[in-house]
Structure 1
């Protein structure tokens, strides 16, 4: 869990793999006839580099361009034909469905008034539904079932927020995977959906005023007709919607028209007096503006005006804000800011932890602070008195990830979740009066989790940096086995131990699953992140390559059995390392990846990523981006591993053109005989809100593809 602010190889020889008879080999390796992809004459000169971009026409929105839509259909037809030939795909799909068939929660409950609100999936639904419990009752009452919103269940519940008294719910409707939201309001007691409708919300939180008369949200201007999918994120602003009024009357609270590329996210802590507005140009660092809701004028007051540190408010005591920050502590500390002062200065409450521990989550509970720390990418919850004095620790069930802390200064209970690779997500209630942790909601998973073991290993990267890795396998798998390696490495996002039924299906078959906690993430704080940014991005790739070498050299992965997977920024990762070391990897699964590093900033929110990647409009950064851009750095004439690219036609976070152009370039190059295919989902976006059946189908295809090229035999389980 992260702080709230913050956003397979060479073909195996028949003799070495007797599972495949010759007839199987011919059936699985047909002469793939890729669809013909037209080339157009686009040549540009950037800082002395001649850049050829023959597939730029694939940047057009497929919803409004027949040529691109036809190309997608042709690619999917070839890919579907190939995937249908793979053994084990149906076995994986069936087993994944079984593994997900249990009642599961995705987050701790949020208490408002006497009611506890939470999302839950009954195990077979495509989308999780929203429920609440009244007081100490054990009966869950259904509030919202998004499975009723569309025939294909591609519409999902987005952000949601409950008024202080627990009587009203504002919620976002996510249609077909898009980042755009339509906000509706529901009466909790009656279940009636009110007439209030707010459109074109995007990258938003929802924050009620104390009296429940309305809520704050963030949105961009309504895009021109037909360009919503590709519309840039500009003129983002915070508005207030008063219940019972038309959206046209919504009050503008905060915007920065002079710097129209910033994001502005509004929040209000439980029982809080202040609206807090976090502004960022796309970095993890932010400016901070507050609005005193007891002031009738609601005048925004700048508190932090630069982007030198991260500031996140988690509570307030009168005029004092309580925050976590990287100001003076790259692994975060806890401070207060007194707004009664003209120029408030931070007063430290809990200093930066010793060693490498990173403050990752926090809650104020009565007169105590509960703080989650990451220690070598594993969670600890430490307890402090309100003045910052250490006060012991909260015992966790094991090694894994804890987070989602919710509590209040006026209460003696807090909730958090815990899970690990071999421990499903469980909701716990902490009682501050007697310092006890009790289970609030525990799943009953359809798997014997005692069969699996998790270990943490450390390896050295190219420059000698020590990097942690988690390895998950079946207890009886003691020799080298086909291995699936996952990574991300960007935006300060930590990849932590988490239970995942889809990955468990791979491990059940005798495969190994590994996670490399490479630089660019936040596992060791701000320095770990910045070591993988901009001109230092190659560190991320070096770390991941070293992880692959470690797995093979240590006899964890078989010599021809290493698959790699990453999504979004992780899609960039696996695309880049495949170009740099095509000999090392045996199957490659890039999902919704950023593949054209020279034009990423021209689509949707891409310009916000320049702080992470560097700007293509800067000479030095352009050359660095060109050196690893997956679309541009393909090594023609080199034997490449098998590659299955996954994306979705409605992705408006990382537009699918990235993957389209990358696949077209792969298919046009001489890269050996292994398949280089595109699996393009419809009525889906960047991953959030994807229906469960589509999620299962996609992962069954990916794991079957990886199994084929790593030598993992998929068998029915006993």
Structure 2
């Protein structure tokens, strides 16, 4: 049982003795993993894959399931010997256990938002009638399963505030089942939509039905391994069967495309963004006031991003990267047969990341060295100053209506928990709507932004977070991602605070492949430029040591998904540089990633293994294929983590990677895998599973970086 959250001082109290770091187990007898060599000719070369059998879903293959059971037992036996694990487990249960809320969505003077009460595993969805009404729980996913591994996913409220359509995520899967709640009666209706995935939910203006995206129903038991193909937008009318849902838009001639739909605030238009890769899309508009709902593609091709911000009658406001790598705002008049685009807010030195139309104003979000700046404009693009923020940090896009002057957004930083702020458009004034109370003394946590140079002279930002009394070199956790234009911005992560308050350093590198400096920054870390991502991360590690931030034998690295690939690649390239590595749900086999579930969508960032030039580039850094024993060079301690229901990056990537790690002579440090049951790629994981996962990772990293850990009083 998790203790109630309470205020603690930081852990560096001289009177509290540090726990011993040496575990009793120093040799590792790995279970034998059978080799079933699969030999194939690829571009004139012979490749042998000895562990391909581990790609099979463990839930349908007894041999893989037995392998996972044996590996989990080895890992569990080792982690349970670490004396720091119990300390981290207790502390994480406290720092993760605090009340949090999302920005409310206002409908008919009702405010809808999610909030997790303390001691609960999953956040619930609540409603508040009026600005000062009582909060009432509408949907509580903690009642859905015994292990709380089923979670509330996407949700949308009808304009009249009477209905909520919401996705149910089961056991971490990307698949969704959409259900409908009657807000007044608090009864779940008979309406049910299955096989939704990568979807938004958008109600029609009258609240009679909603739009969603889904794939064809997989055949047999293939749901977990089904390919991402045939995505389409449908309309579900309340009170009807899913079989009768209206097909709104699809591209059977190009089944790899994803189609995401959203509706204009005035209810007239449905906007559909179609894409097969990050940062580029076609744009289709449907006039919902007509009976035929005929789609009109206003932007063809996939050369730039085109995101509709809002509309004023037939005039669309669009954020685009067309001839603007850091994006700009334009208008497009649907009455104009030529579809002429007019620039209203030009490209800036800062990166325009998002925009929204609320209260008759355009609110634009910019990144300035990975920090958020919010600016406002009138509908002609005339600047009207900035929106005051509480400090240096990150702001999420406002929830609001084009005609309503009240909007809400989230704000956070590394040492500032996520708060909900209310924005009065007329007064250009920000006030606090919800501020969490966290059980960490954040006044003693300092945040610095530094810059270092990569191998080719590129200047890269890095955030450094540590206690205000940590001035000497200390064990450090270096985090990175580097892909898909995803920016690493300052945001509060309570699990990371459990590391920092023990005297450890947290470093987050804004390496290429992300979106911190626009499209060029992303392009510099994708396809043939992917090695820049790894070089930037290696340079970050060297910088931390050269600057005396990291202790000489005290550097752990962490990354998840594309960041798991990052960790696996740099460990192979510079095993001498790192002391512990935590690759999570990583893409580890770069020659076969496109053959599983949605992997083909990643070709836009990685390249296509079926094309020789791309194949050669991928082979050069693929973590699975580049594990390389070198005389006198030991690999760091490695704890790879994944989950049995991950249908985005299938766990077979990690299984094969760890099997090969254990089969090679790479030194005496452990090379282990941790496989979570009833979990997926990360979203929806219940609080108790998160506590256990981070306790294992931090205890492992502490053991191999020398972090001295003490109970927090």
Q: CA deviation at 1:48?
A: 2.5
Pick the aligned partner of 2:159 from 164, 182, 188: 164
1:196 deviates by: 0.4
Q: 1:406 aligns to what SS in structure 2? A: coil
CA–CA distance in structure 1, aligned partners of residues 500 and 619 of structure 2: 37
Is residue 482 from structure 1 mapped to residue 475 from structure 2 by the alignment?
Answer: yes
Q: Deviations over 1:173-207 (max 9, x none)?
A: 00000000000001111111000011001111111
Where 2:392 maps in the other structure, the secondary structure is: coil
Aligned pairs for 1:586-665 (under 5 A) are 586-637=579-630, 638-665=633-660
2:662 is the counterpart of 1:667: yes
Q: 1:91 aligned to 2:87?
A: yes
For the residues of structure 1 that align with 2:331 and 2:236, how far apart are their CA atoms? 30
Q: Please give the alpha-carbon distance, in whole angstroms, between the structure 1 residues aligned to 2:28 and 2:257.
A: 46
Question: Which residue in 2 is equivalent to 1:684?
Answer: 679
Write out per-residue CA displacement over residues 634-658 of structure 1, whole angstroms, 9 at most, x where no aligned residue.
0124410000000001100000000
Q: In the alignment, is residue 38 of structure 1 matched against residue 34 of structure 2?
A: yes
Q: CA RMSD in A?
A: 1.2
Q: After TM superposition, give the deviation of residue 282 of structure 1 in Å.
A: 2.3
CA distance in 1, matches of 2:131, 2:512: 44
CA distance in 1, matches of 2:541, 2:23: 30
Indicate conservation of the 8 Å contact 1:272/1:315, yes or no. Answer: no
d(CA) in 2 for partners of 1:269, 1:380: 26
Q: Quick check: 1:174 aligned with 2:164?
A: no
Question: Contact between 1:467 and 1:543, CA under 8 Å: does it hold in 2?
Answer: yes
Shift in CA distance, 432/283, structure 1 to aligned 2, threshold 3 Å: closer
C-alpha distance after superposition, 1:379-425 (max 9, x if no partner): 11112122111111111111110122122221112211110000000
Is 1:334 the counterpart of 2:322 in the alignment?
A: no
In structure 2, distance between residues paired with 1:94 and 1:71:
30
What is aligned with 1:185? 180
SS at match of 1:546: helix
Aligned counterpart, 2:364: 371
Describe the SS at the equivalent of 1:424.
strand
Which residue in 1 is equivalent to 2:543?
A: 550
Q: How many angstroms apart in 1 are the aligned matches of 2:356 and 2:112? A: 18
| CA offsets 1:400-451 (integer angstroms, 9 cap, x no match) | 1012212222111221111000000011111122221110111111111101
Question: For each residue in 1:272-320, what CA deviation from the matched residue of structure 2 results, as whole angstroms up to 9, or x when unmatched?
Answer: 4211111111232000111111111111111111000101112111111
2:20 paired with 1:27: no
Counterpart CA distance in 2 for 1:271 and 1:706 is 52
Shift of 1:52: 1.4
Partner of 1:706: 701
Does the aligned pair in 2 maintain the 1:28–1:86 contact within 8 Å? no
Looking at structure 1, the residues matched to 383 and 45 of structure 2 have their Cα atoms a distance apart, in angstroms, of 57
**Could you tell me which of 266, 286, 291 is aligned with 2:261?**
266
What is the DSSP-based 3-state SS (H/G/I as helix, E as strand, rest coil) of the residue aligned with 1:229? helix
Within 2, Cα distance between the matches of 1:623 and 1:40? Answer: 25
Structure 1 residue 580 corresponds to structure 2 residue 573: yes
**Deviation of the 1:221 alpha carbon:** 0.8
Q: What SS does the corresponding residue of 1:27 show, helix, strand or coil? A: coil
Distance in 1 between residues matched to 2:683 and 2:210, nearest whole Å: 24
Q: Could you tell me how far apart the structure 2 residues matched to 1:393 and 1:277 are? A: 30
Aligned partners of 1:269 and 1:78: how far apart in 2? Answer: 54
Q: How does 1:356-395 map to 2 (within 5 A)?
A: 357-395=350-388
Aligned-pair distance for 1:342?
1.8
Residues 448, 614 of structure 1: CA spacing in aligned structure 2 closer, same or farther, 3 A cutoff? same
Unpaired stretches in structure 1, ≥5 consecutive residues: 1-17
Q: Distance in 2 between matches of 1:407 and 1:195?
A: 30
The alignment's TM-score, normalised by the length of structure 2, stands at: 0.96
User: What is the CA distance between 1:365 and its match in structure 2?
Assistant: 2.3
2:575 partner SS: coil
Unaligned 5+ segments in structure 2 are: 1-16
The structure-2 alpha-carbon separation of the partners of 1:476 and 1:222, relative to structure 1 and needing over 3 Å to count, comes to same
State which drifts further: 703-712 or 274-283.
274-283
**1:511-526 alignment runs, 5 A limit:** 511-526=504-519
Q: C-alpha distance in 2, partners of 1:270/1:39?
A: 58
CA distance in 1, matches of 2:469, 2:133: 40
- Correspondence for 2:272: 277
Corresponding residue number in structure 2 for 1:419: 412
Residue 215 (structure 1) aligned with residue 216 (structure 2): no
- Whether the 8 Å contact between 1:230 and 1:652 is mirrored in structure 2 is yes
**1:563–1:245 Cα change, 3 Å:** same
Deviations 1:132-190 (A, max 9, x none): 11122242111100000000000000111111111111000000000000000011111
Q: Aligned pairs, how many? A: 695
Q: 1:124 pairs with 114, 119, 128, which one?
A: 119
The correspondence of residues 55-74 of structure 1 with structure 2, limited to 5 A, is 55-74=51-70
Shift in Å, 1:114: 1.2
383-392 or 464-473: bigger deviation: 383-392
Distance (Å, rounded) in 1 between the aligned partners of 2:23 and 2:320: 59
Q: Distance in 1 between matches of 2:367 and 2:31?
A: 48
**Paired residue secondary structure (2:396):** strand
Q: Distance in 1 between matches of 2:420 and 2:642?
A: 32
* Structural mapping, 1:200-599, within 5 Å: 200-353=195-348, 355=349, 357-599=350-592
| SS of 1:257 mapped into structure 2 | coil
